[in-house]
Amino acid sequence: MLSRPRSAGRQAGFTIVEALVAIGVLAILASLAAPSFETTLVTFRVRVAAEGLVSGLQLARAEALRRNQPVRFTLTDGRGNWSVATVSPVSTIQEAKGTSAAGVTIAANASQTNVVFLPTGLVDTAAPRIEDINLTTRVPGVNSLRVQVHGGGLVQMCDPAATGSDSRKC
């Protein structure tokens, strides 16, 4: 019978003790990084909620231009839910659920819940309207964001904490 020759020296691989030590070190490092993961996730939720609102406002403006009639954007609650509809006759164009806004508080200025875009793309400034939508959270280290709606129809997302010449400044 043929037998395999034995190789001289040590065999390659890990021992169970070495593997357990490596797993233990990785577990310690992961537990140290976990708090920063929470901050990152909440920052992401705030940004996604703000981008969803900007998208809805831009949709309302685009539909007003396309349909050549006034279109209303309505913030339906403080969780990021919104709808876009024509003013007269009332016809819903799109609704969105702000599911990404868990842990994020969304509040418009002076409790206004809607803004109307005219067929020219401008904002109807004759009626009370949304000018600022503030997105905040209770998690320390997470910046708030603000969505601004200007009379000329410009919709912009900015950071109220930004200072100086920062392009994100409100």
pLDDT in tens, 89-126: 999 999 888 765 667 888 888 778 899 999 999 999 88
Determine if the peptide bond prior to 70 is cis (ω within 30°). no
φ, ψ for residue 49 (rounded to 5)? -65, -45
**pLDDT > 80? residue 84:** yes
Q: What is the pLDDT of residue 64?
A: 96
pLDDT score recorded for residue 86: 95
Residue 58 CA to residue 5 CA, distance in Å, equals: 75
State which fold the 16-158 domain adopts: minor pseudopilin epsh fold (3.55.40)
Give the pLDDT of residue 152: 92
User: What are 48's two structure tokens?
Assistant: 């996604």
pTM equals 0.77
**Higher pLDDT, residue 44 or 9:** 44
pLDDT of residue 14: 80
Domain boundaries, the chain: 16-158
Average pLDDT score over residue span 72-88: 89
